A and B are shown apart, each in its own frame.
Chain A
Amino acid sequence: MRHLPSSLKIPFPERAGAALKDASLQEALTNATTKFIGLRKDAFASLPQGDLLRDRARAIKEATLERLDYYLEMLADNVERLGGRVHWAATGEEARDIILQLCGDRGVKTVVKSKSMATEEIELNEALEHAGVTPVETDLGEYIIQLAREKPSHIIVPAIHKTKGQVAVLFSHALKGRFAADPEVLTAVARKELRQKFLQADMGITGANFAVAETGTIVLVTNEGNGRMVTSLPRIHVALMGIEKVIPSMTDLVVFLAILARSATGQKLSVYTTLVRGPRQHGELEGPEEFHLVLMGSGRSNQISGELREALYCLRCGACLNVCPVYRQIGGHAYGYTYPGPIGILLTAMLNGDHAVKDLAHASSLCGACHEVCPVRIDIPRMLIELRQRLDRERIAPLAERGVFRVFGRVLASPTLFRLSATLGRMAQRPFVREGRLGSLPLVFGKWTKTRDLPPVASRTFSERWKELR
């Protein structure tokens, strides 16, 4: 990372606190996440083989990672055979430089982009602007976010936190008109505005939902059709993807297609699934003259055998965000990095290092809802616990936290200390018990009781009662 996002100048607890006080954000989050949970549930109810497909999808991801070098080479060879060019970027900086250089060498002035978390991750838009190239986000949600100069707050619905009134004001300002706060009207405005951009742009930049090694195919899944525009109209197409997106065959692809849209939006398939192989082929009237595939290892390469490797299976469907009791309360921005939600914490640790998740690692109740809905069954809670352990081991966790838990650990490990602390606790807690709950504790313990109660030590502990019962 060149610099910290400005959102990170405020510590996480304060970012989360601010989100909790934002009433309109709270309403938007509840509406959206509740709706998506319902849609996903219905979609899987009509797919009796859903569980089997999820197991299979997971196995494909595992098997691909196990031979990732082989599949990446195969993908690269096939893309080149079809007339495309493959670029290798070990880091996000390298990926940015490759794309900037392509723009420079080819006199690119305007770039149209379809939604891509990978480009968000490397802050490509800022880099393009800095180099004098105009990037235009064309996914409606991303377009709104770009006009507002904000960051996406949900992987699937980037502008989940914006009201139609706010969008109308944004559009009126940016496009010099007066537009009603009506989604239908605003969508039509964006269609007209962006249509011109598609036809004029020199370069289209996309991510990739999947890349099929055996055929050299990049797969884009969209609902709006912007992915098709971006890959058909400009003279150059650049696709940026993390190395973990490669899958072996078309047979594998259809397994993922069956579960991806169901998990994300509850659709059986998204409106457009676009399979792209290289530049315009012989005899074709349309399509780019040049196709570039940028393969990005950033943060991923050294996790193939690492503790976070399961996070490399992620399809970016957003299902774990919708069910997460923490995400549902604080929304995406409070997390502060590109990827929010439970999986976002792990991806942030992977991409930005352990220090970045010092606080975020605790932004989970470990309830397991994310694990349950994940289409490839990523065990997020297990990895979060391991992450917390590592933060402790590496002394990244705050001193007070490490101290408290060390003492707590000792006490739990020794029956004598445990009994003694129960007796002491019973006495010490007396001034603080209100209506059978510990509502506010002094000193460092107050941080716990500030937002939740703690059950008091029982007047007779279980082991005391057990003695009598026997």
Chain B
Amino acid sequence: MATRADFLSRIRKEVRRTPGLFPASTAIPPDRPSEAAAAIRRQMSERWPEALERFKQEFERVSGVFHRVTHIEEVPGVIQALAREKDARELITWEPGELGLDLRPHLEPQGLSVTVAPSDAQDGARLSYREAAARAQIGVTGADFVLAETGTLILISGSGRPRSTSLLPETHITIFGKERMLETLEQVGVVLEDLHVDPTGTMSGAVINFITGPSRTADIELTLTRGVHGPKEVHAIFVESL
């Protein structure tokens, strides 16, 4: 096996021969990512209605289903209707604090089983959540950012926000408010820089997922088919008062 030192010294030797070969520069990251991210948030607090309209358009173009409600109290009703439509009996959700609401008191009386993610990661909890995720027909999450120009939901994994909630069930539902809106990939770049300024701070989990519509494939005769491994349906519920 090559050692790190050997490997890198070989690369270094090659690199020393490159001056003059490349007329190059990298993209320039923002000087102060936190300030740049704050500026984007200020900008978006004005521009969110246009961004939301664009998001709806792009999200629907990638076969997402968009819902809009006034208050968070209306969300359980939307989810309940979807569960009935899909004949779903089991749901999994992010931890209520992370999600912004606890669906259990609303949906359990309706005969639905709701498993919420625990905030502490014990081995027992790990297994039981995984089993629930594998059984559930619907997974409910929040979103950290919502990108208008591509119709993309951006979710950061972490305590109380498991990765499988948006992955294993056939239907994924995301709940979000206006302060999550971003317009461009370029803004996403700034926000990602900001998230990694203090690697132990803002971000706890190991994974950031960009989700642009339901899982899809065209591997058999180029026929577009949804839900090959991930969800067949993705719903986004925009809550005005959030």
Interface residues of A (CB under 8 A from B): 28, 31-32, 35, 56, 59-69, 72-73, 76, 81-82, 86-90, 94, 97-98, 138-141, 144, 157-159, 162-164, 167, 183-184, 186-188, 190-191, 194-195, 198-199, 214-215, 223-226, 228-229, 231-233, 243, 247-255, 257-258, 265, 267-287, 291, 295, 297, 301-302, 304-305, 309
Interface CB pairs A-B, < 8 A, 25: A67-B15, A82-B206, A90-B2, A98-B1, A138-B229, A214-B196, A215-B199, A225-B230, A228-B163, A228-B229, A229-B167, A232-B164, A250-B192, A251-B28, A269-B150, A272-B210, A283-B159, A284-B157, A284-B158, A286-B126, A301-B10, A301-B11, A304-B17, A305-B21, A309-B21
Q: Which residues on A sit within 8 Å (CB–CB) of B45?
A: none
Residue in contact with A69 in the complex, picked from B15, B196, B206, B214, CB distance below 8 Å = B15
CB <8 Å contact, B11 and A271: no
Q: A251-B27, A297-B2 are in contact. Are A277 and B206 (CB under 8 A)?
A: yes
In the assembled complex, the Cα of A257 lies from the Cα of B189 at a distance in Å of 10
Residues of B within 8 A of A274 (CB): 207-210
Q: Are B225 and A184 in contact (CB under 8 A)?
A: yes
CB nearest neighbor in B for A144: B219
| Residue ID in chain B nearest A187 by CB atoms | B225
The answer to whether A248 and B2 touch (CB under 8 A), given A69-B11, A271-B211, is: no
Partner-binding segment picked from B68-76, B105-113, B117-125, B137-145 = B117-125
B25 touches A224 (CB 8 A): no
In-complex Cβ contact of A285 among B1, B17, B22, B162 (8 A) = B162
Q: Given the known inter-chain contacts A69-B12, A186-B220, please indicate yes or no for A191 contacting B229, CB distance below 8 A.
A: yes
B228:A140 contact, CB within 8 angstroms: yes
A284 touches B1 (CB 8 A): no
When the two chains form the complex, which single residue of A87, A270, A281 contacts B1, counting CB atoms closer than 8 Å?
A87
Residues of A within 8 A of B193 (CB): 249-251
B226 to chain A, nearest CB (A): 8
Chain A residue at minimal CB-CB distance from B223: A183
Given contacts A65-B22, A257-B185, A56 and B117 within 8 Å (CB-CB):
no
Whether B163 pairs with A183 at a CB distance below 8 angstroms is no
B63 to chain A, nearest CB (A): 10
The residue that B206 contacts in the complex, of A87, A214, A265, A281, with Cβ under 8 A, is A281
Q: Do B167 and A297 have beta carbons less than 8 Å apart?
A: no
Question: How many angstroms from the CA of A252 to the CA of B8 in the assembled complex?
Answer: 23
Digitize B179-206: 1 where CB-to-A-CB distance is under 8 Å, 0 elsewhere.
0000001101110110010010000111
Nearest CB of A to B10, in Å: 6
The majority secondary structure among interface residues of chain B is: loop
Q: What is the interface of chain B, defined by CB distance below 8 A to chain A?
A: 1-4, 6-8, 10-12, 14-15, 17-19, 21-30, 58, 62, 117-121, 125-126, 129-130, 134, 149-152, 157-160, 162-164, 167, 185-186, 188-190, 192-193, 196, 199, 204-223, 225, 227-231
Contact present for B220 and A254 (CB under 8 Å): no
Q: Is the CB of B206 within 8 A of A252?
A: no
Beyond A194-B229, A229-B167, A271-B215, list 5 extra A-B contacts (CB 8 Å).
Answer: A69-B11, A82-B206, A186-B220, A250-B192, A272-B209
Which residues from A are CB-within-8-Å of B199? 81-82, 215
Identify which of A64, A86, A233 contacts B4 (C-beta below 8 A): A86
B229 and A226: CB pair below 8 A? yes
Q: A144 vs B220: C-alpha distance in the bound complex, in angstroms?
A: 9
**Contacting residues, chain A, for B204 (C-beta < 8 A):** 281-284
Distance in angstroms between the alpha carbons of A214 and B134 in the assembled complex:
35
The smallest C-beta distance from B115 to any residue of chain A, in angstroms, reads 12
Docked CA distance A124–B50 (Å): 49
Known: A251-B30, A257-B185. A269 touches B152 (CB 8 A): yes
Residue of A nearest to B215 (CB): A225
Known: A252-B27, A284-B204, A285-B129. A268 touches B192 (CB 8 A): no
A224-B228 in contact (CB<8A): yes
Interface contact B196-A215, CB-CB below 8 Å: yes
Complex: how many Å from CA A285 to CA B115?
14
Q: Contact partner of B22 among A66, A243, A273, CB < 8 A?
A: A66
Q: Are A63 and B22 in contact (CB under 8 A)?
A: yes
In whole angstroms, how far apart are the Cα atoms of A200 and B186 in the complex?
A: 39
Whether B150 contacts A268 by the Cβ 8 Å rule is yes
Whole-angstrom distance between the alpha carbons of A431 and B2 in the complex? 64
- List, in ascending order, chain A residues with CB within 8 A of B196's CB: 214-215, 250
CB-CB under 8 A from B221, the residues of chain A are 28, 163-164, 183
Please indicate the chain A residues that have their CB under 8 angstroms from the CB of B24 in the complex.
59-63, 66
In angstroms, Cα B222 to Cα A226, docked, is 18
Q: Tell me how far the C-beta of A84 lies from the nearest C-beta in chain B, rounded to whole angstroms.
A: 9
B118 touches A140 (CB 8 A): no
CB-defined contacts of A258 to chain B, threshold 8 Å: 185
Measured between alpha carbons, how far is A291 from B17 in the docked complex, in Å?
Answer: 34
Bound together, the chains give a CA A198 to CA B12 distance in angstroms of 40
Residue of B nearest to A35 (CB): B222
B4 touches A88 (CB 8 A): yes
How far apart sit A164 and B220, CA to CA, in the bound complex (Å)? 6
CA distance A251 to B187 in the complex (A): 9
Residues of B within 8 A of A304 (CB): 11, 14-15, 17-18
CB closest residue in chain B, given A277: B206
Instruction: Choose one: A72, A87, A94, A190; the contact of B8 (CB below 8 Å).
Output: A72
Given contacts A159-B220, A283-B204, contact A225 B228 (CB under 8 A): yes
Q: Which residue of B lies closest to A279 (CB)?
A: B206
Chain A proximity of B144: nearest CB distance (Å):
12
